């Protein structure tokens, strides 16, 4: 839900980020709503030696590194992966673990195959028709459960990433889904909400680089 006060508070920043040459990588900021970015900044300041996993690298990678975070990223696009790597200062690279996971050619689909179904590992983007993001979504499985302070899902096959990410967030940690208003994310979202283990907050409204408003959802895992 869009908060009117947020519209007023973030309007000047929103207009500035609509400039032609503004972009996430140059700004070293995550491409989520402005309200959500404020929440992430405050949360990380309260963490001791925070650990973050992100599905989809970019300005968020630099943002987290600048916050003193140990960052693990998975990226599907080789060119973009190289661009991100090149922008990370040498002094910060020891805190970044980047992994490139290109999509795989998919098997002939069944009637249940859709980007909405987490077990299909599909992207809704037309450019990736017939491809699956199995290795990409499963990259986080290399880490123990409850390992990360924060997991950001802002890449491909997000319902599948959400399925694999939820067990990796520590008690009191955050699970973040960007563009969470999209219809084909709703079934996967409900698998989080129905467990009773998470507190859910919606941060809708303006964000950088887009002329439209959207939602970023942040779940906080309840302490045991």
> Residue 182 has what DSSP assignment?
-
DSSP string, 72-134: EEEES-HHHHHHHHHHS-GGGGGGEEEEE-PPEEPPPP-TT-STT-GGG---SSGGGTTEE-H
Q: Which of 6-10, 65-69, 177-181, 201-205 has the lowest mean pLDDT?
A: 6-10
pLDDT band at 2 (very low <50, low <70, confident <90, very high): low
Picking from 135, 132, 137, the residue whose alpha carbon sits closest to that of residue 166 is: 137
**Is the pLDDT confidence value at 159 over 90?**
yes
Residues of the domain holding 167 = 4-221
pLDDT band at 17 (very low <50, low <70, confident <90, very high): confident
Across-strand partners of 205? 214
Rounded Cα–Cα distance for residues 92 and 90 (Å): 5
pTM of the model: 0.92
| Per-residue model confidence as pLDDT tens digits over 119-146 | 999 999 999 988 999 999 999 999 999 9
Return the structure tokens found at 99. Answer: 């992994």
We report the CATH number of the domain holding residue 108 as 3.40.50.150
Mean pLDDT over 49-65 rounds to: 97
| Per-residue model confidence as pLDDT tens digits over 67-104 | 999 999 999 999 999 999 999 999 999 999 999 999 99
Instruction: Indicate the number of domains in the chain.
Output: 1
Rounded Cα–Cα distance for residues 144 and 158 (Å): 20
């Amino acid at each position: 839900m869009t908060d009117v006060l947020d519209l007023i508070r973030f309007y000047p920043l929103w207009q500035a980020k609509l400039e032609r040459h503004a972009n996430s990588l140059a700004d070293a900021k995550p491409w989520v709503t402005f309200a959500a970015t404020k929440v992430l900044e405050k949360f990380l300041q309260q963490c001791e030696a925070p650990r973050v996993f992100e599905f989809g690298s970019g300005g968020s990678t630099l943002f987290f590194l600048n916050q003193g975070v140990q960052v693990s990223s998975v990226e599907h696009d080789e060119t973009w992966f190289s661009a991100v790597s090149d922008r990370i200062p040498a002094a910060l690279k020891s805190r970044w673990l980047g992994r490139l996971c290109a999509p795989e050619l998919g098997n002939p689909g069944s009637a249940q195959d859709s980007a909405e179904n987490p077990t299909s590992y599909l992207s809704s983007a037309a450019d990736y028709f017939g491809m699956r993001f199995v290795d990409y979504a499963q990259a986080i499985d290399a880490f123990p459960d409850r390992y990360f302070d924060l997991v950001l899902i802002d890449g491909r096959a997000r319902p599948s990433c959400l399925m694999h990410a939820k067990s990796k967030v520590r008690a009191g940690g955050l699970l973040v889904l960007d563009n969470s208003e999209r219809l084909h994310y709703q079934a996967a979202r409900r698998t989080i909400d129905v467990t009773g283990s998470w507190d859910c907050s919606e941060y809708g409204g303006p964000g950088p680089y887009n002329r439209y408003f959207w939602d970023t959802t942040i779940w906080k895992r309840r302490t045991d």
